[in-house]
Structure 1
């Protein structure tokens, strides 16, 4: 039994898993904004089974990001060397079972939007 299912835009990558670890938070750092095109929102998975090709890009000394090599969908984030993967909320099928709990790296957010949902905001991570 899985908590969630999901896929990339073209369907070449699909996944199932169970939630665990980090709750759903929106990251506003410059890397996540460039990676997602706006704000990256992801939650930690306890178990994750992936079918299809995933390409991993090492975006810093601390992290790497997984995406579909066919359509380019941003799907996963993990600390370098870790097996624990955070899954993009936008790639998860409804119902996700998720609820946004806050925002991180808001000191680095884009100047074109405001965060006005009343959730906690951390200047860094």
Structure 2
């Protein structure tokens, strides 16, 4: 798997299976992405930065940080503090991903301008 930000200042790779995509509707994910955050994940140790001169991190809460491109603003990563996985924005992956959306998290916080009617499991918080 290979992915990047919009301008190419951040390019990453991982040679490991991707987790199914989770659609997170929490307020932080909606604020950082402009809608909901659809992300897969890989073990942090398996994620390789091919180019990272544009990569910046923001501590978004006591328990997580978010990686983004400081040049184009693309939201790229989410990491739990002390965790061993990195979530990757599904839309930042180049080509076919081989994964699909598995469920919706934080639906109690979702925007009022859209409906969730895809039949997938929905959780008020993380499952």
Note whether the superposition's TM-score is higher than 0.5: yes
Q: How many residues align?
A: 121
- Matched residues in 1 for 2:29 and 2:78: separation? 10
Cα deviations across residues 33-91 of structure 1 (Å, max 9, x unaligned)? 00100010111113110122310100000110000111010000000133421111010
Partner of 2:17: 19
Give the secondary-structure state (helix, strand or coil) at the position aligned to 1:103.
strand
- Matched residues in 2 for 1:57 and 1:104: separation? 22
Equivalent residues of 1:19, 1:43 under 8 A apart: no
Partner of 2:64: 63
> Which of 6, 10, 29 is 2:7 aligned to?
10
- Matched residues in 2 for 1:9 and 1:68: separation? 9
Aligned pairs for 1:1-125 (under 5 A) are 4-17=1-14, 18-20=16-18, 22-46=19-43, 47-50=46-49, 51-53=51-53, 54-125=55-126
Equivalent residues of 1:6, 1:16 under 8 A apart: yes
Equivalent residues of 1:67, 1:76 under 8 A apart: yes
- Matched residues in 2 for 1:23 and 1:57: separation? 25
Query: Any stretches of 5+ residues in structure 2 without a counterpart?
Result: none
Q: Give the drift of 1:19.
A: 3.0
When normalised by structure 2's length, the TM-score is 0.90
- Matched residues in 2 for 1:58 and 1:116: separation? 33
**Runs of 4+ deviating beyond 3 Å:** none
Query: Any stretches of 5+ residues in structure 1 without a counterpart?
Result: none
